[in-house]
Amino acid sequence: MNMRQHKLALCADHFTEWVPAQVEKSIRKYRMFTPEDLVLVAVSGGKDSLALWDILLRLGYRADGLYLGLGIDGGFGYSDESQRQCEAFAKSLASGYQGMRESGNQEVEAPVGQGVPIQDPVVPDTQIPDRWLPKLHTLSVPDAYGESIPEVARRVRRGRGKPCSVCGLIKRHEMNRIAHEMGYLVLATGHNLDDEAAVLFGNTLTWQVGYLARQGPVLPESDGFARKVKPLCRLYEREMAAYCLVRGIDYIYEECPYSFGATSIAHKELLAEMERKSPGAKQNFYLSFLRAKQNGFLDDRHQELAPSMHACERCGQPTTAPGLCAFCRLWVSVEKR
Amino acid sequence: MPKIFYRDKEWEVPTNITVRDAIKKGDLNPETVLATLDGKLITEDIHLKADDVVKLVAVISGG
Ligand code: SF4
Ligand SMILES: [Zn+2]
Ligand SMILES: [Zn+2]
């Protein structure tokens, strides 16, 4: 594996050790969590999130998975296939991961949901004694709310033919809710450096100061809602795909059918062009942004200007809107009918 | 001649070409794909033999 941005080439064995070591560095550098914390990893069936779960377990962290079924078909059963991929991965976990750090943590009770409409967790076929027994929690949006994501989007007519804004809103809300109800203090997502650089690029093109101020590897916890962390934020997308290949992690190659033509993909292609001409360009772009931020280039003044947050009347999640949060407003028109 | 497969495309490249150049011949940016031979990852500086069949895996995803 050649990593031109690091002027480094590694063989397969060293590469699968190098990746977790990088992740561990990020976890410590940005103070994401400790081996005592319960971490919920949002898994989609794609390469990044499954690799992240694998890596956290190998590093000895107490990480469980959460899969959200969105009810997206796209002609090839996208959601069904990605769920199958996550479940197969969860079952294979015990045999596949050897902790680098002994975590001997079985005295911690598995979190139990409080009336969450969530399926029985999938657990590995066999368990290694004294190791964290990783569980995969699954919530099907169509089962829980009676509508798939594309159906909700069509009904509320948000997002000009694409369900992505409704999808993002529902995913964020449900991850928050489940993490909170099941007692996970940390929510980890598989965003890699390319994802973060593409978002940063989009936000700088239009100088979205508010978004820029909030973008980072860690979003602190608030009012009992989980801290959000991105442990893969310093790893290239290429490295994550390579990690899965070398580790034999099977993931879904197909994309969500609605991601076709997304601006984030266009931005990634532009950044890849820069990267080809000058290795390390993507990494520089993102990491120097983080450093600039740390040095106060974006001060917190805008936060005082930001509208104040209060609890949603229906679900209790923090929101800037008076009364109901955006998620709850999606459903009120249904209930009235 | 070595053969390269990517999604529904395939192309042939001259023997002894490097993987990196073989990728470029398919009009692709080497930063956006990984090359595999017999399901194993190969590096871009490898020179391809006459009967090599290389499969490329896309690494860019949306979201
Ligand atoms: S592409 Fe859009 S609809 Fe598909 S998973 Fe992503 S946000 Fe949801
Ligand atoms: Zn080595
Ligand atoms: Zn609400």
Residue A104 pLDDT: 38
Cβ contacts of A10 on chain B, cutoff 8 Å: none
Instruction: Specify the length of chain A in residues.
Output: 337
- Distance, in angstroms, between B40 CA and closest chain A CA? 7
Indicate yes or no: CB of A245 within 8 angstroms of CB of B41: yes
Domain ranges of chain A: 11-300, 307-337
Judge: A255–B62 Cβ closer than 8 Å, yes or no: yes
- CA-proximal residue: ligand 1, atom 1 (nearest): A259
Judged by a CB distance cut-off of 8 A, whether residue B8 touches chain A is: no
pLDDT at A94: 62
CB of B62 within 8 Å of a chain A CB? The answer is yes
Which pLDDT does position A179 carry in this prediction? Answer: 94
Are A47 and A229 in contact by the 8 Å Cβ rule? The answer is no
Cα A288 from Cα A184, distance rounded (Å): 31
Q: What is the mean pLDDT of residues B55-60?
A: 92
Report which residue type is found at A279: P
What's the rounded mean pLDDT across residues A30-45? 96
User: Do B62 and A260 count as a contact with CB atoms less than 8 A apart?
Assistant: yes
Provide mean pLDDT across the span A269-282: 95
Residue A218 contacts residue A31 (beta carbons within 8 Å): yes
Distance of CA A131 to the CA centre of its chain: 24
Chain segment A303-313, per-residue pLDDT in tens = 555 567 788 99
Q: Which residues of B4-27 are buried (b: 16+ CB within 10 A; e: fewer)?
A: bebeeeeeebeeebbbeebbeeee
Class of domain A11-300: alpha beta
Domain CATH for B51? 3.10.20.30
Mean pLDDT confidence for A68-75: 94
At A227, which amino acid appears? R
Measured from the CA of A256, which atom of ligand 1 is nearest?
4
What is the H or E stretch that residue B3 is in?
strand B3-6
> pTM of the full predicted structure?
0.90
Domain containing B19 equals 3-58
Annotate A230-286 with DSSP letters as a single string.
-TTTTS-HHHHHHHHHHHT-----SPPGGGTT-HHHHHHHHHHHHHHHSTTHHHHHH
Tally the domains of chain B: 1
pLDDT of residue A98: 47
A211 with A203: CB under 8 angstroms? yes
Contact B32 A269 (CB under 8 A): yes
* Contact: A241, B62; criterion CB under 8 Å: no
User: Residue A173 belongs to what H/E stretch?
Assistant: helix A164-182
Q: CA A161, CA A138: separation in Å to the nearest integer?
A: 27
Out of A9, A269, A272, closest to residue B43 by CB: A9
Task: Report pLDDT digits (tens) over A188-219.
Answer: 999 999 999 999 999 999 999 888 988 999 99
| pLDDT tens digits, one per residue of A233-256 | 999 999 999 999 999 999 998 889
| Strand, helix or coil for residue A216 | coil
Tokens of A31: 């103070």
- DSSP conformation letters of A81-98: HHHHHHHHHHHHHHHH--
Mutation to test the B interface, candidates A47, A199, A238, A252, most B Cβ within 10 Å: A238
* Confidence category of residue B51, pLDDT binned at 50, 70, 90: very high
Residue A161 zone, left/alpha/beta (φ > 0; ψ -120 to 50; rest): left
A168 CA to middle of ligand 1, Å? 7
pLDDT in tens, A91-111: 888 654 544 444 433 333 444
Position B18 pLDDT exceeds 90:
yes
Atom of ligand 1 nearest to the CA of A171: 8
The pLDDT score that the predictor gives to residue A307 is 64
**Is residue B63 domain-resident?**
no
Q: How confident is the model at residue A60 (pLDDT cuts 50, 70, 90)?
A: very high
Spatial CA neighbour of A54 closest among A244, A297, A329, A316: A244
